[in-house]
Structure 1
Amino acid sequence: MKKTLVAMTTLAVTGVASAQSSITMFGLIDTGITRASNRAEDLNGPTLRDPFYVNRGSVTTSRTELRHSSYHSSRFGFRGTEDLGGGLAASFWLESPISNDDGQQGLSTFARRSTISLSGGFGELRLGRDYTPSFWNETVFDPFGTNGVGTNLIHVAFNGSFAAFGPAATPVPGITNVKGNSAVRNSNSIGYFLPPNIGGFYGQVMYAFHENTKYSPGTATPPGVAANGALNPGAVATTQAGRYIGGRFGYLNGPLDVAVGYGNTTVGDSYYQGTTSYLKVASLGASYDFGPVKLFGEVARSKRETKYDVAPIGGGVPDVDLDGYLVGATVPVGPGLIRVAYSHVKYDYNAPGTSAANPKSSKLALGYVHNLSKRTALYASIARVSNKNGANLTVAGPDFYNTPAGVFTPKTSTGYDVGIRHAF
């Protein structure tokens, strides 16, 4: 076995030298302590129907963990480039998520990124699993980079159940599931990036295949399957779920960076029901570096909507809107960096015949990073989420207490991260 590995390594090095390629191994390890405390309250009281109701007070659920990826996401990867001449280059990028707190996940997948690309004066054509264009605004214009307890609520809310779709691949415990969500990355994608030398303007577009079977004529599409295994024409027979179309375009010049992003994912469909469901997200983000302080801002709107071939009586499933905004700043202090952000989201379920107030959440986050070197840093962050009208967002940790169901209302979530990050 050792001889085989040596031979393979020798061949790889020889190939690299002859093709004048460069191959880099890289990685990052981030480990810290995270604690979260989530409080739910019983807001009910005696009524005419139940005059002897006894209020149950409040219940707090909390958890302390050794976690990874609270400042930067832990990873291990390989990337390389071959100069093809004439300004052309071929590249690959294979990057695996690592759960270094328990060692459960390592090079078992390249779920963070697995791409091959061709680049030149025309820009770059990239194929494989990659970040979606619509995700970039959420992380680039977040002082906390969508990591840890300080992650902005726009991303927390969107990346949760709001962005989920099915059917997902059968999950393996401890291994990143690459199906069922397009909030951050998409598999089976084709991406195009503008060249970097066009006066500060940049941009990308992406199309991801759903890779489901299509039937022609459509009447040959098999019906869905009920829980008992019988054919059920009313059940979902997915033929398009997973398709993604998106883009992001911006302008970067000196201290100013501004960009718009858009993404549209087909999250479900049924030939027999004549329905197709979409998840759409649009955002505008910007940052400006004044030197002593760098300011960040973002506004975003997401929508889950269902289209019908024939509009049902009663209007069908109402659309769900998710609106959010973020303001934040970073302040360099010697070898360190202070980070602060405030984010807010509001859900609108567009439910007819109801006067219930829309659920909404806000988060205030504060953090400090102390750079011991270019590759090693210590960090600490603290954040608090306030929920209203039934919203149930948390900074981390366990779910809100809800036993018996419907009695307790989620209120506040508080947490902190303290850890160390090392890049190599």
Structure 2
Amino acid sequence: MKKTIALAAGLAGMALSPAFAQSSVTLYGIMDAGLAHVSDIAGSNSTQLRSGNLYTSRFGFRGAEDLGGGLKAVFNLEAGLSADTGATSTPFFNRQSWLGLRSDSFGDITLGRMLPTINDLFIASLQASYFGNPSAAIDGAAVGAGSSAARFNNMLGGTRVDNAIKYQTPNFGGFRGHAMAALGEVAGSSSAGRILSLGGSYASNSFDAGLVYHERECSEASGCPAGKSKDKILGVGGAYKFSGNRLGVIYTQQKNALNVQGNDADVLSLLARAPLGQWVVQAGFQFLNDKTVLNQDVRQLNLGANYLLSKRTQLYALYSHQSVKNGGKAGMYSSTSSDDKQGQISLGIAHTF
């Protein structure tokens, strides 16, 4: 159960205002641990006790202060951790670290380290995480024999962005606009390393949809050198909801992944989720069309079943299988296979608080 702590205004607040604004801070988190068996890691199978098979283990603080007139001050600090070892992230609040203002009339503006707009539209809204588990995300699949330049990231994995400014419009009949800019902070250039993201979303009781464009400039102050170019991602997706079921599709097109010129790919992801009493079953299929000269396309099947012990505690079983064409190495959850195939199965427990 989330723990909400009422905070009284301090002496500093008294000096700034004759009235006491109502403020609250919420402690929340997820703990996830289980066994994972991977069929091939560098030529050998492996069984591990692992944290975050279904959800990334984490804890954090959310806060809000009612400033009156429909305006609130808001913040979020969130840290990742490993349930199997107790290790925490470096930097500590590496998952989220932001604050800002939220207005019923003018929307939300926040500043700090945040998830990009493409994550807001596709992970949070369409619930693409129901594909199975974080390790099942095909983005970042090792399609080029371990070469970092050949690793795609269509941002469905939710890469967080530093030095960001994000704006979201109010809700207009289910429609919202989204914009984000992150400063590269490279000396001698106002554009080097800069990230820009624009999108629109729609949400109703039965349908969610999103369209987003995302780009990242090269990090060199003098501009992109030979062989590098601006990383561009275009994504569109939607999900249909009925009686607790969810059917969704997401398509992303990436050019110059990781700022490597010509490192292009398309990713199509299909998902389905259905509650059956205390059970929730889900399935997903993902296809990565490698448009480089390697032509190492990736296919991946994800299956999962969760048993809900309560509103906050669940048992889960997950299965994923990946195959890569033309000599590429399969790779899931940061582990590279010795050949073009890799499978994994996970059994575990997750608890939210």
Aligned match of 2:285: 342
Out of 30, 50, 65, the position equivalent to 1:82 is 65
Q: For residue 192 of structure 1, what is the aligned residue in structure 2?
A: 167
Deviation at 1:81, TM superposition (A): 0.7
- Residue by residue over 1:108-157, the C-alpha shift from the partner in whole angstroms, topping out at 9 and shown as x without a partner, is 51111111111111001110010001234553445534763662314656
Cα distance change, pair 387–378 in 1 and its aligned pair in 2 (3 A): same
Describe the shift of the 1:370–1:338 C-alpha distance in structure 2 as closer, same or farther (beyond 3 A).
same
What does residue range 348-367 of structure 1 map to in structure 2 within 5 Å? Answer: 348-349=291-292, 351=293, 358-367=295-304
Residue 343 of structure 2 is matched in structure 1 by 414
Secondary structure, aligned partner of 1:153: coil
8 A Cα contact 1:386 1:411, kept in partner: yes
Aligned mate of 1:123, from 98, 107, 124: 107
Who is 1:391 aligned against? 328
Q: Is the 8 A contact 2:132 2:304 kept in 1?
A: no
What residue ranges of structure 2 are gaps of 5+ in the alignment? 1-6, 14-18
Hey, which bits of structure 1, 4+ residues long, moved more than 6 A? none
Say whether residues 1:295 and 2:269 are aligned partners.
Answer: no
Report SS of the residue matched to 1:139: helix
- Map of 1:213 onto structure 2: 187
Distance 1:60 1:106 in 2: 29
1:299 Cα deviation after fit: 1.0
Contact 1:69/1:147 (CA < 8 Å) preserved in 2?
no
- For the Cα contact (< 8 Å) 1:148–1:417, is it kept in 2? no
What is the alpha-carbon distance in structure 2 between the residues aligned to residue 190 and residue 93 of structure 1? 14
Whose Rg is larger? 1
Cα deviation per residue 1:166-199 (whole Å; 9 max; x = unaligned)? xxxxxxxxxxxxxxxx952101000001113x10
Contact 2:193 2:220 in 1 (8 A): no
Structure 1 pair 305/375, CA: closer, same or farther in 2 (3 Å)? closer
Query: Does residue 1:256 correspond to 2:207, yes or no?
Result: yes
Answer yes or no: is the 8 Å Cα contact 1:132–1:185 preserved in 2.
yes
SS at match of 1:134: helix
Residue 24 of structure 1 pairs with residue 26 of structure 2 = yes
Q: Who is 1:282 aligned against?
A: 234
Cα distance change of structure 1 residues 321 and 87 upon mapping to structure 2, 3 Å threshold: same
Within 2, Cα distance between the matches of 1:305 and 1:385? 21
Q: CA deviation at 1:267?
A: 3.4
Look up the match of 2:197: 246
**8 Å contact 1:143–1:329 — kept in the other structure?**
no
Partner-residue secondary structure (3-state), 1:135: helix
Which residue of structure 2 aligns with residue 52 of structure 1?
none
Q: Which residue in the other structure is 1:6 paired with?
A: none
Alignment length (residue pairs): 331
CA distance in 2, matches of 1:155, 1:296: 21
| Contact 2:256/2:264, CA 8 A, preserved across alignment | yes
User: Which whole-Å CA distance do the structure 2 matches of 1:306 and 1:107 have between them?
Assistant: 22
CA shift for structure 1 position 66: 1.4
AA aligned to 2:60 is: G
User: Which residue identity is paired with 1:144?
Assistant: S
Q: Where does the alignment leave 5 or more consecutive residues of structure 1 unmatched?
A: 1-11, 40-58, 165-181, 216-238, 308-316, 352-356, 402-409
8 A Cα contact 1:201 1:250, kept in partner: yes
Q: Which amino acid aligns with 1:325?
A: L
Q: Is the 8 A contact 2:282 2:305 kept in 1?
A: yes
Q: What's the TM-score once normalised by structure 1's chain length? A: 0.71
Counterparts of 1:272 and 1:376, CA distance in 2: 50
C-alpha RMSD of matched pairs (Å): 3.1
For 1:154 and 1:305, the matched residues in 2 are separated by: 11
Match for 1:329: what amino acid?
A: A
Q: Which moved more, 1:107-116 or 1:28-37?
A: 107-116
The answer to whether the 8 Å contact 2:281/2:306 transfers is yes
Show the 5 A alignment for 1:58-207: 60-105=43-88, 109-120=92-103, 121-140=105-124, 141=126, 143-145=128-130, 148=133, 151-154=136-139, 156=141, 162=151, 184-196=159-171, 198-207=172-181
Alpha-carbon distance between aligned partners in 2 of 1:108 and 1:274, rounded to the nearest angstrom:
30
Name 1:405's counterpart in structure 2: none
Secondary structure in structure 1 of the residue aligned to 2:119: helix
Distance 2:69 2:281 in 1: 45
The verdict on how the C-alpha distance between 1:273 and 1:258 changes in structure 2, with shifts beyond 3 A counting, is: closer
Separation of aligned partners in 2, 1:199 and 1:273: 42
Between the aligned partners of 2:56 and 2:230, the Cα distance in structure 1 is 29
1:259 and 1:94, CA in 2 relative to 1: closer, same or farther beyond 3 A?
same
Matching residue of 1:171: none
Rate the CA distance shift 1:155–1:329 in 2: closer, same or farther, 3 A.
Answer: farther
Distance of 1:150 and 1:254 partners within structure 2:
29
CA positional deviation for 1:38: 2.5
